[in-house]
Amino acid sequence: MSAFNKILFTLIIITVASCSSGQDGDVFLRLRAVLEPTNFSINSPDFPLDFEYDAFYQIQPGYYEFEYVDHEGVQHPLLGELSVLEVTSNKGTDGGLFKSASDGEDIYIDLWLLSEGPVIETSNYFTIASTLND
């Protein structure tokens, strides 16, 4: 019986140890504008200073303040406008004894810099930039 208990105990430990966690989803940010602002800044260390409009950049979850000067020379955010971008990721799920772990879905955020104020659109799939200006 002692050998059987050791084998059973070993199998239980291997089964429990093999339970894993899924990875959190990635988050991507894209800046968009109908008429490009003259200036934009965001306090995210992941977002490049020499960014391109309509291109996604991977960023980490967090709270990011931003500001811009629109094409008419008006500084945003104005009173009552959105001034902080809250970025969260979709969490992966834990695996179990008879359940495998799954990764969280990626999130794609469009931050529209408009003269009426910023607008945020979020989706869980990659979208191609429109050809408004082409």
Mean pLDDT by 10 residues, the chain (134 residues): 70 60 91 89 94 94 96 93 94 78 91 94 78 46
Helix (H, G, I), strand (E, B) or coil at 15: helix
pLDDT at 132: 47
3-state helix vs strand vs coil in the chain, percent to 5? 10, 35, 55
What pTM did the predictor assign? 0.77
> Looking at residue 16, what is its pLDDT?
57
Query: In 10 A of CB 24, how many CB atoms?
Result: 16
Count other Cβ atoms within 10 Å, centred on residue 45: 10
- Looking at residue 124, its pLDDT comes to 83
Q: Which residues face 102 on adjacent strands? A: 93
DSSP, res 66: E
